[in-house]
Chain A
Amino acid sequence: MLRILINALRTGVVTTRYPAEPSVPPDRFRGAPVLSPGSHLPPPTVCPAGAISEYVDTGGRHVALDLARCVFCGRCAEDPWAGAVTMGRDFELAARSRADLRIEVVADDPAPRSGSGRAIAATESAHNPDAEAACASSEIRRVLGRSLHLRHLDAGSCNACDWELTALLNPVYDVRRLGIDFVASPRHADGVVVTGPVTRNLETAVRRTFEAVPEPRVVIAVGACAASGGIVGEGYASAGGVDRVLPVDVYIPGCPPRPEAILFGILVAVGRLDARLPCRE
């Protein structure tokens, strides 16, 4: 016992100060891709997750990147597109609507012939226009205060997002210092954090768990699969994103999002931090 105490004292405090102090990811970290307008941007086929789309109108070729779908593999920033796309360092990407996660720029390709334009369907967003989201946020903040107790809901994740949620409880991130905790029962929860694209075999369990949470309740979609279906997409066994099944309040991009990115998203959900639009330069 004494040895344990001595070891604990010798180890000292390992807890991060984030979000009071910023967290700087390492050099190789791949955050939000930055698309340079007017450059030679990659075609949609480059992206293994289908996050890149394009359409052509009189203004030129518009290239859009859906951060909710992005798996941050960095392939679109490799040759021959290096420079046109660079992997940024921004990881605080949580947003209240799918539309906010769409980055669109015009490429420098030769002006198209008229009539060849074909609009690609904009990101589908089952609900939450901004006003509604802001209203929900203030209601959540009024009822729940600054503390948030969440129930984790694995809806078919690859477990990377789950492990990052576990990491939030380790001595380094220690989310409990911020009044946030993960609880064992949905009845004790103010909301759910969902990982995974919602598999067919879990859809019923996901709905029932959500319904067991008392209102008002928040739904936080963690990671690319939960936010959009990610690399799994829609299929015979996958709904293709949490918002196909539950009303989502906050989307946290990443594959998986690093623990601070999840923490940022949770604080956005409870109204303690504001979502920032991703870099559009």
Chain B
Amino acid sequence: MRWKEIVAGLMVAGVLFGIPAAAIAYQNSYATQVIPVKLSQWKIEPEIHVKAGTKTRLLLIATDVTHGFQIGRLINIKAIYPGHPQELIVTAVDPGTYEISCSNTCGVDHAKMLGKIVVEK
């Protein structure tokens, strides 16, 4: 009967401690930077800083109305709905500063809704 308890105990330890430990170990090996980006009338915050050659995950969150997210001519997500964040995984290659704009007409000052993504060496 003792073997049953040992097997069960190992299983419990596996889920209680093994799963969190595995998750943290995986994260340490994976190391992706996650940056939440808030889109609101008429701001894009914060200024995004990424390192060239690394994978970065942008979480695009529209906080009031439907917005878009455009980086120059490279990327254009046309509709990000409030309450439904979208993710964008980017790997920047060339260092420099790129302009971000809203690509979905979102109100009177839509044209002023600009931000920056800075790719560092």
To the question of whether A and B form a pair in one complex, the answer is no
Interface residues of A (CB under 8 A from B): none
Interface residues of B (CB under 8 A from A): none
